[in-house]
């Protein structure tokens, strides 16, 4: 599920015409008119690496550049962009089908990030990539025959899986210890990077030996240099200093009918202030979840405690630090003479920030690139996804 990831300072381009291209660097700027200064645009990717709505052109470009049959378009509102995204399938002919036999939601996925969300933090996940949908569906059905659980048994970030599940294929010069208890997991043939059962060194459901290549979109074995790189760890609250908080939002089926969103706020490992909950209200969009996460973080943070909020939502940051100024001046109406979307969330967040400023408290927003292995962002994302999953399960049970 795509999110509005992007740098708040990045330039925006494109203006509503239907852009279809095998190379997303095609003249997106030529023949287009410039938008009004200060007025946001929303970029809808209907067919690309990660379909969804983006508030930054560079992030949209990353999803469609080099993607065969890419379909994308810019809009003045999130509602129009979301409607465009829900028009057709995002990937009619995927190169791989990712089968999740044991995970949060077993099934067949056409992209690795979506499948990865189902196995991250799951005890003893089983998943594999196949060249055809039929093979992937057969793998999933086989799991149902042997009674694989579909209940969420996510483990703590610092807890490793109790059972090692190595595949037959190892990364170069990184042979891992084999465990006899997992022999039944290794009978489906050689594993490609990121498609086999987790090995002994798995952390929070991730195989630390693999990495997603942003250029090709493929999962690859890490190089020796990447394996030896220093790992950052989210340590949580620094007592007495500025409070560092990570926020994120997630929407299952964002932009489509029946979508369910979740909110995630991460203060630190096992911190009681952490938030993982479903999004309230009828509109279950990713952007509302992102804003709500910021609002929840500020509600929990003491009024006189300086705070730095880390988020991968450039939309959220711009709403509460830049765009609101003109919106408020124009009585919360856009330059297109339309009511500002999500005003009910933006206005109270701005009010809270201003309340903190009056007593000399700092509120800093820092943008992070989404899904870039930042431990705090990863933790907030997991909390948001879990909140959405729980809300979805509650709706189905009602």
Q: Is the pLDDT of residue 6 over 50?
A: no
pLDDT category at 197 given cuts 50, 70, 90 is: low
| Alpha carbons 395 and 282: distance in angstroms, whole number | 13
| Alpha carbons 278 and 392: distance in angstroms, whole number | 8
| Alpha carbons 348 and 352: distance in angstroms, whole number | 6
Two structure tokens written together for 111: 């992209």
| Alpha carbons 60 and 72: distance in angstroms, whole number | 8
pLDDT digits (tens, 9 = 90+) for 65-119: 888 777 788 888 887 888 777 753 344 455 678 888 888 788 888 877 778 777 7
Three-class SS of the chain: CCCCECCCCCCCCCCCCCEEECCCCCCCCCCCCCCCCCCCCEEEEEECCCCEEECCHHHHHHHHCCCCCEEEEEECCHHHHHHHHCCCCCCCCCCCEEEEEECCCCEEECCHHHHHHHHCCCCCCEEEEECCHHHHHHHHHHHHHCCCCCCCCCCCCCCCCCCCCCCCCCCCCCCCCCCHHHHHHHCCCCCCCCCCCCCCCCECCECCCEEECCCCCCEEECCHHHHHCCCCCCCCCCCCCCEEEEEEEEEECCCCCCCEEEEEEECCCCCCCCEEEECCCCCCCHHHHHHHHHHHHHHHCCCCCCEEEEECEHHHHHHHHHHHHHHHHCCCECCCCCECCCHHHHHHHHHHHHHHHHCCCCEEEEECCCCCCCHHHHHHHHHHHHHHHHHHHHHHHC
**Chain centroid to CA 340:** 25
| Alpha carbons 267 and 297: distance in angstroms, whole number | 9
pLDDT the model gives residue 48: 82
pLDDT category at 387 given cuts 50, 70, 90 is: very high
Q: Could you give the angle at which helices 286-300 and 375-397 cross, rounded to 10 degrees?
A: 110
Q: Is the pLDDT of residue 392 over 80?
A: yes
- Residues paired with residue 260 on neighbouring β-strands, in sequence order: 252
Residue whose C-alpha is closest to residue 114's, from 135, 100, 133, 131: 100
- What superfamily does domain 243-397 belong to in CATH? Ribonuclease H-like superfamily/Ribonuclease H (3.30.420.10)
pLDDT digits (tens, 9 = 90+) for 315-354: 999 999 999 999 999 999 988 889 999 999 999 999 999 9
| Alpha carbons 213 and 216: distance in angstroms, whole number | 6
Question: What angle (nearest 5°) sits at the alpha carbon of residue 187, between those of residues 184 and 192?
Answer: 120
CATH topology of domain 19-85: Ribonuclease HI; Chain A (3.40.970)
pLDDT digits (tens, 9 = 90+) for 144-193: 544 333 333 333 333 333 333 333 344 444 434 333 333 333 333 345 66
In whole angstroms, how far apart are CA 62 and each of 271, 280, 316, 322, 388? 35, 31, 20, 25, 26
282 or 230, which is more confident: 282
Is it true that 19-85 and 243-397 share their CATH fold? no
> Which residue's entry shows tokens 């149902």?
144
Q: What percent of the chain has pLDDT over 70?
A: 64
| Alpha carbons 266 and 207: distance in angstroms, whole number | 22
Give, rounded to a whole angstrom, the gap between the first and last alpha carbons of the chain.
25
Domain boundaries, the chain: 19-85, 97-228, 243-397
């Amino acid at each position: 599920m795509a999110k509005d990831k992007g740098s708040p300072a990045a330039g925006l381009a494109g203006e509503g015409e239907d852009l279809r291209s095998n190379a997303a660097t095609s003249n997106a700027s030529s023949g287009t008119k410039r938008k009004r200064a200060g007025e946001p645009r929303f970029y809808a990717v209907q067919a690309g690496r990660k379909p969804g709505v983006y508030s930054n052109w560079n992030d949209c470009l990353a999803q469609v550049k080099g993607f065969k049959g890419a379909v994308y378009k810019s809009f003045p509102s999130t509602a129009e962009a979301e409607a465009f995204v829900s028009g057709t399938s995002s990937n009619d002919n995927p190169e791989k089908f990712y089968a999740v036999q044991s995970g949060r939601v077993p099934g067949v996925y056409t992209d690795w990030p979506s499948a990865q969300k189902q196995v991250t933090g799951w005890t003893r996940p089983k998943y594999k990539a196949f060249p055809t949908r039929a093979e992937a569906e057969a793998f999933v059905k086989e799991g149902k025959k042997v009674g694989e659980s579909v209940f969420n048994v996510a483990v703590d970030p610092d807890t490793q899986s109790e059972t090692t599940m190595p595949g037959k294929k190892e990364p170069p010069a990184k042979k891992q210890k084999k465990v006899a208890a997992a022999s039944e997991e290794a009978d489906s043939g050689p594993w490609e990077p990121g498609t086999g059962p987790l090995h002994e060194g798995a952390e929070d459901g991730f195989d630390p030996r693999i990495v997603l290549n942003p250029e090709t979109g493929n999962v690859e074995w890490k190089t020796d240099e990447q394996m030896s790189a220093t790992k950052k760890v989210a340590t949580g609250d620094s007592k007495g200093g500025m409070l560092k908080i990570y926020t994120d939002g997630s929407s299952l089926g964002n932009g489509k009918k029946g979508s369910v969103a979740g909110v995630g706020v991460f203060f630190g490992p096992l911190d009681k202030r952490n938030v993982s909950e479903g999004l309230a209200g009828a509109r279950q969009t990713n952007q509302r979840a992102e804003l709500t996460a910021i609002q929840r973080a500020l509600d929990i943070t003491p009024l006189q405690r300086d705070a730095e909020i880390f988020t991968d939502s450039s939309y959220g940051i711009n709403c509460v630090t830049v765009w609101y100024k003109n919106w408020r001046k124009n009585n919360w109406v856009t330059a297109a003479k339309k009511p500002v979307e999500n005003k009910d969330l933006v206005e109270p967040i701005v009010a809270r920030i201003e309340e903190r400023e009056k007593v000399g408290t700092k509120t800093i927003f820092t943008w992070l690139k989404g899904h870039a292995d930042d431990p705090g962002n990863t933790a907030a994302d997991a909390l948001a996804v879990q909140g959405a999953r729980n809300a979805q399960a509650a709706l189905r049970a009602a």
